[in-house]
Structure formats: structure tokens, C-alpha cells
């Protein structure tokens, strides 16, 4: 397969992905577009100056319960902080934040408390989507809309809205980057450092990567899994580098564990390959900006998903819709786009990136 035909296929797939990405553009505008108003109305991020009739106009107070896993790495910490900051923009949101936990039983009890307290909505990023499905179904049965963030429930009826990153799309974007930079090297050695293998999100990322590589007749030659932490990233990368004396491309699923991956690479003195990161941390983007790192790109997995969930929960309870859509109800699913950040476009993304 020629590089030209590969590039054409990549652009076709990218165009398809952009259609899905339009959902996030609508979401970003859902509480900022008003009829007859101007941008200065909400310049301070609050709601007091919102034009009458806009989605930002203060309405009935909405009590939102929020629960997410422990902030044991930068991306997850940004998830919770972004949700808090978004809620602070609205005079009519009362956000009740449960302590972050990786204990499924504790997270279940947190949601039970929200149900007993009769909150108006719940925004939930489950540590384990399958394990949290029954309690989410209970909340929905109690008339409390649930906004499911990032890790999907087993049953679509367990949430009113699901806000997702594009895990499969991340893999596709990383694989396309490899295909577009082969420069005729059809014997390239491609390696992959995944996240937690038992999670569907990791499986989706790996599947997307494999599918994209197949389009340019490549495959994953060496693969190890880490646990989304710095320590696990360093250990997994050390094992990989020992097993693979030569690598041309390395995709690491997560920029938080990538801190450890980069440490292992430096310790091994390896620089013969091109590395692609995942999630889009600020430190990864600074490495890209430097121009002298093996890290040449990263694929964004937005840490704004819970913040979007807060906005959507508010709209649901107040009976509003997304203002840039004709449909009068909030959609069932919003999936965010997974763009590739390189030296050419890093300035567009670094200011909103999270710190690992």
C-alpha cells in the first residue's frame, strides 16, 4: 500500500471523526449562546449578566452530586477540579462533591447518600462502570437523572446522558500518525505501552491503534501494559526496552504514566524512535515544544468531560436544551474528539492542558 493511499484513507477517517466531534462544539456553546446577546454578557464566567432567555440565565437551584475516582494522577485530578470550577460559574448550582475513591463499595455508598438526600442530578465517573451500574439504575428509578462520565455503565438505562472521550479514536489517531510518518519504512517496529488492560477503555484504545496500523500494513510488534501511574509506566517501559533492542514508533496510552515512561527511556539512553503520548498533559506538550525529545505528538483525551457533565445536568434539571441544536432535549450521548497534538499545533492546546 502506498503512503499516498494511506494518507487519503486517513483523511477520510478523520473527516468521519470530525462529524462526531461536532457534538462537543455544540456542547461548548450550549450555555453561552443567547438570542440577541453579545459575548461580553458572560465574559466574567458568571451568570448574573446573562441575557434573558439564554441558557446561562440563573434559574431554579440545581443540587448536583458528583463522584469520581481518587485523583491519583493528573488527568483524574483535572476531572474533579474542572467539574468544581464549572459549577462555580453558575449561581444556581449547588455541587456536592464526594471524596474521590478507588473503592467501588465506597463509591456505591456515596451514590446511595445522594439518592437518600434527594439531589436533583448525579454526575458520576465510576471507578468501574459495570460495578456501578446497579446503583446508577436505582438513582434513575428514583427520578434522579444520572450523567455517566468517561467509563460507561453496562446498561444504557443507568444514565440519562453519557459524556465520553473517544478511546477507540485515540488509538486510531495514534495509528494514523505512525502510518503518516513511516517514510517508506514498511519494516518499522511498532511498540505500545497500554494502560490497565482489564478496562474497556484500554481495550478500545488498543483496538483502534491496531485497526489504524492495519491500513498501512503495520502491526504492534511489542506490547506491555501499565496502570496509569508514573511508577507503573517506568516499570513497564523498562521491561519493554529490554525486550525490544530496536523500536521505530512507540505509543504510550497515557501521559501521566508517560512521566515514568520518559524516565525509563532516559535511563536506557534510547532515542532511536518516535514516541506518541496519550491524554494530552501540559508536560507532554512542553516536551513536544522542545523539539529535542523522542516525544513528538500526543493524542488528546479531554479532562473536561465531568465539567461538561455538570453543564448537562443543570440543563436537564432546568428543562433546557442545547441552544445550538434544533432538538428540544439534551442528547443521550456526547462524545468528544481525539485530536493529535504536534509541534505544529501545540500552542492551540497547551493552555488548557492538565499537569501530570
**pLDDT for the residue numbered 50:** 54
For residue 59, count other CB atoms closer than 10 A to its CB: 17
299: its cell numbers: 493524542
pLDDT of residue 53: 61
Look at residue 18 in the predicted model and tell me its pLDDT: 35
Is 31 a member of any domain? no
Sign of CA dihedral 295, 150, 218, 245: positive
Bridge partners, 146 (sequence order): 122
Per-residue pLDDT at 9: 40
Query: Is the pLDDT at 177 greater than 70, yes or no?
Result: yes
What mean pLDDT comes out for the span 90-97? 98
Task: Say yes or no: 296 and 171 in one domain.
Answer: yes
Report the pLDDT averaged over residues 156-184.
97
Q: How far apart are CA 106 and CA 223, in angstroms?
A: 33
**Residue 180, domain extent:** 167-300
DSSP 70: -
Residue 45 buriedness (CB in 10 A; 0-12 / 13-18 / 19+): exposed
Q: Tell me, yes or no, whether 215 and 285 share the same domain.
A: yes
Chain position carrying cell 451568570: 47
Residues 160, 184, single domain; the answer is: no
Q: How many domains does the chain have?
A: 2
Residue 66 has pLDDT above 70, yes or no: yes
Q: Which of 136-145, 212-221, 304-313, 325-334 has the lowest mean pLDDT?
A: 325-334
Judge whether 324 lies within some domain. no
Residues contacting 223, CB < 8 A, separation 6+ = 191, 192, 193, 194, 206
Q: List the one residue out of 34, 47, 117 whose CA is nearest residue 87.
A: 47
**Among the listed ranges 71-80, 196-205, 227-236, 318-327, which one has the minimum average pLDDT value?**
318-327
Judge whether residue 121 has pLDDT over 80. Answer: yes
Whether residue 274 is found in the same domain as residue 285: yes
User: 207 pLDDT exceeds 50?
Assistant: yes
Share of the chain above pLDDT 70, in %: 85
Cα–Cα distances (Å) from 109 to 67, 87, 146, in that order, read 11, 23, 15
Query: Rg of the chain's alpha carbons, rounded to an integer?
Result: 21
Report, as an integer, the average pLDDT of 211-228.
97
Q: Is residue 70 part of a domain?
A: yes
E strands, 76-213, in order: 93-97, 121-124, 146-149, 161-164, 190-194
pLDDT tens across 242-269, in order?
Answer: 999 999 999 999 999 999 999 999 999 9
Share of the chain above pLDDT 90, in %: 78
State residue 15's pLDDT score. Answer: 40
Amino acid 33: pLDDT: 37
Angle, to 10 degrees, between the axis of helix 104-116 and the axis of helix 129-141? 10
Do the strands 274-279 and 222-225 form a parallel or antiparallel pair, or are they unpaired? unpaired
Q: Among 268, 300, 332, where does a domain finish? A: 300
Q: Do residues 317 and 311 make contact, with C-beta atoms less than 8 angstroms apart?
A: no
Write down the pLDDT at residue 54.
81
Does 314 lie in the same domain as 248? no
For residues 88 and 113, state if they share a domain.
Answer: yes
Residue 229 belongs to domain with CATH number: 3.40.50.2300
Judgement on whether residues 273 and 176 belong to the same structural domain of the protein: yes
Same domain, 260 and 113: no
One domain for residues 187 and 294: yes
For 191-204, write each residue's pLDDT tens digit. Answer: 999 999 998 889 99
- Give the mean pLDDT of 215-240: 97
Asked if residue 176 and residue 160 are part of one domain, the reply reads no
Rounded to whole angstroms, the Cα distance separating 171 from 278 reads 9
Q: pLDDT for 24-65, tens place per residue?
A: 333 443 443 343 344 434 333 344 445 556 888 999 999 999
Predicted structure pTM score: 0.78
Residues 205 and 86 in one domain: no
Output the average pLDDT for the chain. Answer: 88
pLDDT digits (tens, 9 = 90+) for 294-337: 999 999 999 999 999 999 999 999 999 888 788 888 999 999 99
232 and 182, same domain (yes or no): yes
Q: What is the Cα–Cα distance from 160 to 181, expressed in whole angstroms?
A: 41
Amino acid at each position: 500500500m502506498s503512503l499516498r493511499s494511506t494518507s487519503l484513507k486517513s483523511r477520510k477517517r478523520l473527516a468521519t471523526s470530525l462529524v462526531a466531534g461536532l457534538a462537543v462544539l455544540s456542547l461548548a456553546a450550549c450555555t453561552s449562546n443567547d438570542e440577541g446577546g453579545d459575548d461580553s454578557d458572560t465574559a466574567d464566567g458568571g451568570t448574573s449578566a446573562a441575557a434573558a432567555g439564554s441558557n446561562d440565565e440563573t434559574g431554579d437551584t440545581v443540587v448536583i452530586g458528583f463522584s469520581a475516582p481518587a485523583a491519583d494522577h493528573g488527568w483524574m485530578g483535572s476531572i474533579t477540579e474542572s467539574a468544581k470550577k464549572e459549577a462555580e460559574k453558575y449561581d444556581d448550582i449547588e455541587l456536592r462533591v464526594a471524596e474521590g475513591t478507588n473503592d467501588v463499595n465506597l463509591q456505591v455508598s456515596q451514590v446511595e447518600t445522594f439518592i437518600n438526600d434527594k439531589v436533583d442530578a448525579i454526575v458520576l465517573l465510576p471507578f468501574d462502570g459495570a460495578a456501578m451500574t446497579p446503583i446508577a439504575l436505582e438513582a434513575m428509578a428514583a427520578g434522579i437523572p444520572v450523567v455517566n462520565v468517561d467509563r460507561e455503565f453496562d446498561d444504557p438505562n443507568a444514565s440519562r446522558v453519557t459524556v465520553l472521550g473517544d478511546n477507540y479514536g485515540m488509538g486510531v489517531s495514534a495509528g494514523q500518525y505512525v502510518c503518516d510518518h513511516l517514510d517508506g519504512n514498511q519494516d518499522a517496529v511498532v511498540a505500545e505501552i497500554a494502560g490497565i488492560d482489564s478496562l474497556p477503555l484500554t481495550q478500545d484504545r488498543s483496538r483502534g491503534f491496531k485497526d489504524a496500523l492495519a491500513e498501512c500494513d503495520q502491526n504492534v510488534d511489542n506490547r506491555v501494559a501499565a496502570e496509569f501511574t508514573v511508577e507503573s509506566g517506568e516499570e513497564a517501559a523498562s521491561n519493554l526496552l529490554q525486550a525490544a533492542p530496536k523500536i521505530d514508533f512507540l505509543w504510550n496510552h497515557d501521559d501521566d504514566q508517560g512521566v515514568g515512561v520518559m524516565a525509563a527511556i532516559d535511563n536506557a539512553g534510547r532515542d532511536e524512535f518516535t514516541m506518541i503520548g496519550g491524554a494530552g498533559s501540559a508536560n507532554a506538550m512542553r516536551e513536544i515544544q522542545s523539539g529535542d525529545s523522542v516525544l513528538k505528538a500526543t493524542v488528546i483525551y479531554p479532562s473536561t468531560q465531568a465539567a461538561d457533565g455538570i453543564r448537562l445536568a443543570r440543563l436537564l434539571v432546568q428543562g433546557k436544551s442545547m441552544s445550538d441544536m434544533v432538538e428540544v432535549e439534551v442528547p443521550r450521548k456526547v462524545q468528544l474528539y481525539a485530536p493529535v497534538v504536534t509541534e505544529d499545533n501545540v500552542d492551540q492546546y497547551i493552555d488548557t492542558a492538565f499537569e501530570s
